[in-house]
Amino acid sequence: MRRVQQRVSILMVAIGWVVACAPGSMALAADAYPARPVKILTPTGPGGPSDTMIRGIAELLTKDLGQAFIVENRPGAEGILAGEACTNAAPDGYTLCLAEAFNTQLLPLTKAGLKYDPSRWTPVAFFGFLPTGLWSSQTVPANDAQEFLALAKKQPGTLTMGAFGRASSPYLHAEALRRTAGIDLTVVGYRSAVAAWQGTVSGEVSASLYGLQAGVPMLASGKVRLLAINTETRLAEFPNTPTFNEIGLQSGTMLWFALFAPPGTPDPVVRRINERIAKLVYDDPAVKERLVTAKGFVATAPAGAAPADVAAFVRTQRDTYAKWVAAAGVTPE
């Protein structure tokens, strides 16, 4: 009997030692991270605002943490290629995933048979919102939004909208216009938002949606026109340019970008990445201006916030986008 009690005592001491040491061990593992290069997958092509932003942040993380953070572009298939790679990667912190509002919120609502669920991804860091402009090519005989919409109504199906899949904002906006204003725009598919924008500049398509600040430099060339902006109120810089709401387009669904990790990535590792990004980027006004604001992003909450705050924001966004998809009459295909 005494031997049994001794064994139980020894077992309890061992269990207590493991429990007591576990938090320290997890912290130690997080402190040792990363021990090898880290890959950041992105669903966009090279050269766009989000691509240049994340590459700048990757350089900072590389210098700060002593291991290479490598950005790998995986465009195409409406973000599915990058999404599957993110979901199937080992949950060890060595694969991170840049994702945007549309391929995390809209894709599950518009794509039937999707083999992964973005809601299972682990939120790591939020970068900000990207105000979007509705741009038309100079080849379109319309000087403003009213003339563009009147032309589309007069000649249904002749004007084209560049988009990158049914889970994209341009596609849903075209559907919304078709239903609310009786305007028929033919949607032309591209591999990325950058490619659709280039198609607008060249006159290959009539219009597209693209980041406001990224597109503004092309205004001076005369190759594009800014028809509307996805903001709540008109901007002082563009007092004559209406908001999306003013021309009958959905507002309140601004494009945002965040960093995620595969499902099951340990919390200490997630917190370490989050804390380093917050300190390196959002706690330094000069760096935030150079890498985020100068790229056209609005770095308001939850930008730079803790992972729990990012997760709460993403959950509320799911309801917003679900209502938008239902209003546009889009069902999964």
In one-letter notation, the amino acid at residue 137 is S
SS3 assignment for 151-198: HHHHCCCCCEEEECCCCCHHHHHHHHHHHHCCCCCEEEECCCHHHHHH
SS3 assignment for 228-260: EECCCCCCCCCCCCCECHHHCCCCCCCEEEEEE
Predicted confidence at residue 71, as pLDDT, reads 97
Predicted confidence at residue 9, as pLDDT, reads 44
239 shares a domain with 274: no
**Residue 192 is assigned to a structural domain of this protein:** yes
- pLDDT per position as a tens digit, 102-122: 889 888 998 888 989 999 999
- Report if pTM > 0.85: no
Query: Residue 77 is part of which domain span?
Result: 33-129+256-328
Instruction: Report the CATH number that the domain containing residue 300 is assigned in CATH.
Output: 3.40.190.150
- pLDDT per position as a tens digit, 30-74: 678 999 999 999 998 888 889 999 999 999 999 999 999 999 999
Per the structure, the count of domains in the chain is 2
* Confidence grade of residue 29 (pLDDT, cut at 50, 70, 90): low
Within 48-168, residue ranges assigned H as helices are 49-65, 80-88, 101, 107-110, 145-154
Predicted confidence at residue 328, as pLDDT, reads 76
**Residue 320 is assigned to a structural domain of this protein:** yes
- pLDDT per position as a tens digit, 166-222: 667 777 877 777 777 788 888 898 887 889 999 999 999 999 988 888 889 999 899
- Residue 253, pLDDT > 90, answer no
CA distance 121 to 261: 6
**Residue 4 is assigned to a structural domain of this protein:** no
Predicted confidence at residue 116, as pLDDT, reads 92
